[in-house]
Each structure stands twice: as structure tokens, then as C-alpha cells.
Chains A and B, each alone.
Chain A
């Protein structure tokens, strides 16, 4: 439990840092983690010894590069697990978050890496709620605007779909929308060549905005 709590601390500090607060007071951290200040300080001192963070005389905490790396990794694990539970398994967001909080400490790097890839690969249509998310903006090719650079995330097209594979239009490929006539399909650049697609084909290709 000790080590998972330590990871929670690093994760919280990392999140704080990502939102713009470069230093955090021990007091604030205690409220964020819902812990007793004295107990927390004891652990923080230990962590300082291990080189995860530094505590300045005015009781503010700063992450060392090492601590930052661990914190970042834990946060990514949390996000992926949470996304998997809520978006793919259909759990309620709160319980998904809680489940992610426990699992994030024990899941291996490889499993997370694979799970992340799995979430982004086909079969997964990209639920609407994800479009509002910051990191992944999922849309169909027909919704993309001219000139946009996109990554293919899923091809739902049956039948002529194998032709798309052959042309290189399959999950993971970066494409650029060269031309779009409203209601009349799109031309995309894939691997240096321009491919014209009918609207119904474009609508079956799900892409992500990279920017």
C-alpha cells in the first residue's frame, strides 16, 4: 500500500504541474489526497530521500525529473484504464475512475501499451462522448475539412474495404484531405497518391485529428 500511495502522490503532483501550478504546498496536497498533513509529511520526507521530489523550507513540493516520469506514467495508465472501463465496457464514469485508481498501480507497462493500442484500433467506432475529449477527436472522414491532416483509426467498410487496405488506407496511416465537395465525396492523399472516395465510403472511415 505504501508504494501505491507514493505513486498517488506523484500522480497528483504531476497533474497539478500539468495544470500550471509548478509548486504545491504540503497543505494543499493533503486536502487533494484527503490525508492528514503530519502523516503525509512523513512520507514526503522519505520520498525526498529517494529522490522523487524536493521540499523547500517554505513547505512547497517540487518534482524531480525522476518523480515526474513516474507521475506521468501513472497518470497515463489511469487515463487509459478509465477510458477502457467507461467507454468500452460501459461502466459509470465514477466507478471507472475508482477502478482505474486501484489498477493503475499494479498493471504492467506492456499491458497498458497494448490496451492503449487496442482502444485506438478497429472494431471500435469511437463513441460520441470521446469527440469532446482533448486528446482524441474522433470523426468520420466525411466530416473532415479540406486540408486537414488526420490519422485513420478505423475502417468499417465491408466489401471494397480490402481495396482500401491495399491503397494504404487502414488504421494508423496519416492522410491529408486534398479536396472535398460537399455531398460528393473526398479526395485524400495517402502515401503520396490521391485517392477519390465516394461519400458512403468516406463515411465509413473513422479518423482522428492529430493536432
Chain B
């Protein structure tokens, strides 16, 4: 048996999903899309039940990928029961989606979540009446406290029914549906969908578009607007029958502090900088601990064991890859994810997006773009994964360029460990300045040349709430798992290939080949170039390799200050790490991933060469 969870964003759907399925969750792509669906299993009375968490949407009929995915899922009849999760405090808006889903005439069940919040804001819902108006069972829950969620599965099994609720449409729409159904034999729902422009059969679409043009002319309103209006009206009617609300007592308006220019913007800056500093401090401390641990207890014993050279090289590469993965994943990315989950669950992230909207406009993006940018400072990989949130291809493209340029925590390690340590703090800050200027120029340029239309931001502000530790950790864990699944195999493969290169002597040949270029253009010794290439694996490995190849940790004694500075700038700018390239490929396609990588490579070498000219 299969059940699908459907609902608006921010209704606690994922939380319910996790409570139903536990931790054994698989993330998979829905066929034909790039949208990730989470699937999990649960057992009830010896029956295996598969639960699928569909992405949060406001409507079944939009053109976004999420909406198309959910529409295809509902239409396919794959799920035996569809469970609609509604926010009790925003019943009317939530009912709109429910009414759309109801038109597919599949067995359904309603979970009315966030009963506690609704109560707090003085809203009571007549459950029995709602159930009878919709013609399906309604289960009130408080998912944050786990209240009543245990009754969902039994109710799915015993009392899922096809809803009886019916939206009254404008008579022109009804007439259009009727004539479509007489020309082509369609069921009612498919006819409505065709009027909205969703159908596969070109004949049906043509007939439908002629009809909808006619309707549009009569109403001076698009068919989508009329239908939306009718549905909202129905939702309003149902809500007015079952919802009783009293004006809640108004507490101090924290929202006012957070969403005005002063002090909203200073607070935003303080929060972001605070997070970056904290992640960096906690991260470097943890990283050192993890790297040392793997070094002493795995790498050293392995090297001491005396395997044949090839096996030793392969083993070392493998261990290095594991070390790279865990050395970055847990200390930096996990810590960062925890903070992001805190911002998300508290509802602050949407406020930050609102404040940042204007600034990001200049770069051809919108408020939501702040999420990948902030994430980028932690690690580019999750940042690129999050560009899905941006609605247009244009925004996604611009964001992926900018994010790959943002100095992630690994690059911060290079800047701190190399420039700050050997050249000085001011020089270290100047590296950031160079990167910032490049990001701004790139953004301004891209916002002009990138094709595609620019749309504004329409974002629901999630209410401010206290995040719970359990949910924050759960969310962070799910994400770090996703990261490890993507990044780990790549790191291992890339590391082994590099190891083989070194073993077979190809690396030495490459060094000989690159030497004239490296010295002439960047003013760097050839081993520094090798170190840069290792940086593709994991950015701060450039630093570690440099130390190994130079044969001393006191780099100041073998390299000039100018060389150190150039090395740091080039390694920060050029080619994103291998894991970033992999997610870029997944999110924006192979071609664009190559373009982004080439762009960073060119920028890196150009800036390095320019600095070399200036310094010498």
C-alpha cells in the first residue's frame, strides 16, 4: 500500500512524514524530474505501507517543477490514499489545494495540523462539520509534539474515502467543460485541466484553448483566474462554516524589529556574520580533531603495515578521501546545517529573504537567492543543491556562478592558514575583498547577459516560532546524509585517480610540462601547481599538499610573500572542488557546469597572472 503526503509548504508535512516512517528514509528522484521525493516505510498490523513525502506546493496547476511532479503523482493514481496535511490556522488558503486534489477523486484523508498554534491565535475549527462538508475523515494533530499522529495510519487503512466536496464553477466554465466533454470523451477533471492548458493531446488542447479564449473575452479575466476564484470562494465558504476565530492578544511585535530597514538589516548582518564566525571556529577545531584522529589511528598504522607500493598508494588515496569527506562534512557543513535549520524553523530565513530582495535584484536574483549565498559560505555543495528553490532558470544560472565563487569554509582555511599566517591579517582581508569584487562584477554582468525573464519574488513568510532541538538535528542529519551520498563516492574516485597519477609518474611528467607556464604566468614553482590541482579534490587540501611537497610547514622559508599570496588567491578562485562540480552538473546540466568551471579557471589564472605582474 502506498500513501502520498500532500500540502502547502510549511504545514509540518515533513515532520509528520518522519514521525510516520522513522529515520529509514530514502531520497529518490521522481521519474522524469529532478525533484527529490522522500520515501519511507512503516508497518501497521503486518501490512507494509510506503509513505511518500511530496514537495510542498500551493497549487496543483502551476508550471514549477514541484507542481508538475505532484500533479503527475496524483494523476497517475500511484498512491492508494492521498493524505492532505492542512494548517489549522490558515485553513481557508490550505483548503484551496485540497479542493484541487479532491477533483481527482482518489481516496483521501485530511490531517489538520498545528492545532496548538491555531488555538493560540484564537482559532477553533469544527472538525466534525469540516469532515462532513468535505466528505472525508479529518484528524486533528500537533505534529511538533507528536500529538495524535499515531492515528493517521490506522485512519488511512480504515476510513480513507473519496471526497464528496464539489466546487461550484462559473457557468461559462461549466459550459466549456461540457462542450469539451462532448467533443472528446474526457472525464470531468481532465476537461478542467485542459481548459487550464494542461493536456497531452494536441487536439484536446486546441479545442480547449479556443474555448478558454472565448471565456476570457467574456469575463476579461483569465480562465485560471476564474477557476482560482471559484475555488477560493468554495474554500472561503467552507472555512466560514467551520472556523471560529477571536482576535488573539497581541504580544510585542518582534516581526517589526526584524523586517524594517533599521534595525532589521543590521540584525540580519549580525546574524550572518555571527553564524559564519561560529561555524568557522567550531569547524576548524573539530576538523583538526577528526583529521588528527584519522591520521594517527588509520593512516599511520596503514603506512606502517608495509603493503606493496601500488596497494599502499591506493589505500592512502582512499583514506585521504574519507578523511577529506569527514573532515569537511561534519565539522563545517553539519554545523552550518544546524544553523540554517535554526533559521528556517524559526521563520527568520523568509524575513532575511524579504530584506535582501532589493540588493539581490541588482544581481538578477530575488530575495530567495540569499539562501544559496549564505549556504555558500559554509560549503558550495549544499548551496548549489539549494538553488532548486529559485524559480527561473535564469536565476538558477546566475546563482550557480556566484555561489561557486563564494569562499566556502575550506577556502577560508587556506586564506587563514596561508595568508593570515605568513603575510598578515590585512592581506588576508584583501583576498576577501578581491573575491567580493569579482562576485559583484560577475553578478552585475550576468544579470545583463543571462537570457530569460526576470520575475519578482512571491514568498510566504512563515510565522515566527521557537525551533525544537529534535527537529533541527533531524533536518540537519537528513541533509548531511544527502551530502555524503553525493560527495563521498566522488571524493573516493577522484582521490584514487590522483593517487594513480602520482604512482605512475604522470604527475611528475605533468609538473615538468606545467613548470614553464607556472613560473612565467603565476610566478609559482611547479610543485605549487600540483598542490593547486589537489585542491580540486578538496579545497584546503591545496594547502596540505603544498606543505608536503615543499617539505616544510614553514612555507615562509621556501616561498616569497608574493608567491604565498598568489597561491592563496588562485586556489580560492580557480575551479570549484569536485563535489561542487558534481552537484552543478546535477542542477544545471553538464554543459553549464563546464562553463562555470571554465569561468572560474580563467578568472583564477587571470587574477593570479595580474598579481604576478603587479608584484614583480
Contact = CB atoms under 8 A, between A and B. Distances in A.
Given A121-B221, A166-B58, A171-B229, A197 B93 contact: no
A196 interface: yes
B61 interface: yes
A123 to B, nearest CB: 4
Contacts of B61: 162, 166
B90 A193 contact: yes
B58 A163 contact: yes
Contact of B453 (A124, A159, A191): A159
Given A179-B260, A185-B357, A187-B461, A192 B93 contact: yes
Contacts of A122: 220-221, 225
A118 B220 contact: yes
A183 B255 CA distance: 19
Interface in A100-151: 118, 121-124
Interface in B216-265: 219-221, 224-225, 228-229, 232, 255-256, 259-261
Contacts of A44: none
Given A123-B221, A171-B225, A185-B457, A198 B260 contact: no
A191 B233 CA distance: 12
A166 B455 contact: no
B358 interface: yes
Contact of A198 (B92, B97, B350, B367): B367
A52 B360 CA distance: 66
Interface in A155-183: 155, 159-160, 162-168, 170-173, 179, 181, 183
A194 B353 CA distance: 13
A72 interface: no
Given A183-B358, A184-B355, A192-B92, A197 B461 contact: no
Nearest to B458: A163
A192 B93 CA distance: 8
Contacts of B482: none
A163 B62 contact: yes
B456 interface: yes
Interface in B566-594: none
B220 A167 contact: no
B459 A184 contact: no
A50 interface: no
Interface in A191-211: 191-202
B233 to A, nearest CB: 9
Interface residues of A, number: 38
Contacts, number: 129
Contact of A168 (B63, B232, B457): B232
A190 B235 CA distance: 14
A190 to B, nearest CB: 8
Given A184-B358, A192-B89, A160 B228 contact: no
Contact of A162 (B90, B224, B354, B361): B224
B232 A198 contact: no
Contact-size category for B: 35 or more
A165 B224 contact: yes
Contact of B58 (A167, A199, A200, A201): A167
A80 B350 CA distance: 43
A162 B63 contact: yes
B219 A121 contact: yes
Contacts of B366: 198
Nearest to A164: B458
B220 A123 contact: yes
Contacts of B259: 179, 181, 187
Given A124-B220, A168-B93, A184-B358, A160 B225 contact: no
Interface string A45-74: 000000000000000000000000000000
B96 interface: yes
Nearest to A191: B93
Contacts of A123: 220-221
B458 A167 contact: yes
A193 B97 CA distance: 15
B220 A198 contact: no
A160 B456 contact: yes
Contacts of A168: 92-93, 96, 232
Contact of B461 (A160, A162, A163, A195): A195
Interface in B321-362: 350, 353-355, 357-358, 361
Given A121-B221, A196-B459, A197-B458, A166 B229 contact: no
B264 to A, nearest CB: 8
B59 interface: yes
B388 interface: no
B203 interface: no
B159 to A, nearest CB: 29
B91 to A, nearest CB: 8
A185 B358 contact: yes
B172 interface: no
Q: Which of B59, B255, B353, B461 has the most CB of A within 10 A?
A: B461
A124 B357 CA distance: 29
B93 A171 contact: no
A57 B221 CA distance: 55
A201 to B, nearest CB: 4
B460 interface: yes
B391 interface: yes
Contacts of A160: 391, 455-456, 458
Given A121-B219, A166-B59, 16 more contacts: A123-B220, A165-B229, A167-B458, A171-B221, A171-B225, A179-B255, A179-B256, A183-B358, A187-B354, A192-B90, A194-B461, A196-B461, A198-B357, A198-B456, A198-B457, A199-B456
Interface of B: 58-59, 61-63, 89-90, 92-93, 96-97, 219-221, 224-225, 228-229, 232, 255-256, 259-261, 350, 353-355, 357-358, 361, 366-367, 391, 453, 455-461, 463
27 contacts: A123-B221, A159-B453, A160-B456, A162-B62, A163-B62, A165-B225, A168-B92, A171-B221, A171-B225, A179-B260, A181-B261, A181-B358, A185-B354, A185-B456, A191-B90, A191-B92, A192-B89, A192-B92, A192-B93, A193-B93, A194-B463, A196-B357, A196-B457, A196-B461, A198-B361, A198-B366, A201-B456
